[in-house]
Amino acid sequence: MIKKICSTILLTCAILFTKAQTNEATLQYIKTYCGIAVAEMQRTGVPAAVKLAQGVLETMSGQSPLVLKSNNHFGIKCKQGYDGPYVLHDDDRPQERFMKYEDASQSYKDHSDFLKGRSRYAGLFELDPTDYPGWAYGLKKAGYATNPKYPQLLIGIIERYNLAEYTLMGLGKVECNEEVKTYLAKAQEQ
């Protein structure tokens, strides 16, 4: 009986520790990339909240093997005829070719351009940028992801981490936090 209680306590502690690590990694991911997300929103109209949630989900909060070996934060595969840098990664099929980026900002920019430049996503840009549920369901409907729960996962991340505030920052409706201010100031200097 005591062994069973100890095992249950250990298992509970392990689960809580794993959740705490995941939460910490997610908070760090958001802090690191929120400035890029706001800048890309201002450049293209992709809501910062949606972009950050996709980044968190697609990269497992910056810990996925794909992002670690390629700086590919959005799972963007190589287009037909592409002959630039890439990595092989198992996804829908084994050893698919994924874009490889020098840094995260290239990945964030390519993701924005990917959405903005394809007609199947055009309807998203007619939505209010604060309508993150509309964007989440619209991405799924347009074929962005194969996971049937993709919209709910994005919405859950946005709400759990209050990512809608970054969209409001991008719209100039609330003051930017220090990370966003610093990134935007550096971007203007370049």
For residue 147, being part of any structural domain is answered with yes
And the tokens for 161?
A: 């981490």
Give the global pTM: 0.86
For residue 84, being part of any structural domain is answered with no
In the block, tokens 């939505």 appear at 127
CA triplet 12, 14, 16: central angle to 5 degrees? Answer: 70
For residue 76, being part of any structural domain is answered with no
Distances (CA, A) of 156 to 4, 55, 132: 34, 13, 11
What single-letter DSSP state applies at residue 90?
A: -
Model pLDDT for residues 82-141, shown as the tens digit of each residue? 999 999 999 888 999 999 999 999 999 999 999 999 999 999 999 999 999 999 999 999
Q: Name the helix (H) or strand (E) containing 104.
A: helix 104-116
For residue 92, being part of any structural domain is answered with no
Q: CA 145 from chain center: how many Å?
A: 13
Residues 43-70 have a mean pLDDT of: 97
**In the chain, how many domains are there?**
1
- Phi, psi dihedral angles at 40 (to 5 degrees): -70, -35
**CATH number of the domain enclosing 114:** 1.10.530.10
For residue 14, being part of any structural domain is answered with yes
**Among 139, 172, 160, residue whose Cα is nearest residue 19:** 160
Q: What is the pLDDT at residue 12? A: 39
The answer on pLDDT for 33 being more than 70 is: yes
Structural domain of 169: 2-69+103-189
- Predicted confidence band at 1 (pLDDT cuts at 50, 70, 90)? low
Model pLDDT for residues 137-169, shown as the tens digit of each residue? 999 999 999 899 999 999 999 999 999 999 999
- Phi, psi dihedral angles at 93 (to 5 degrees): -130, 160
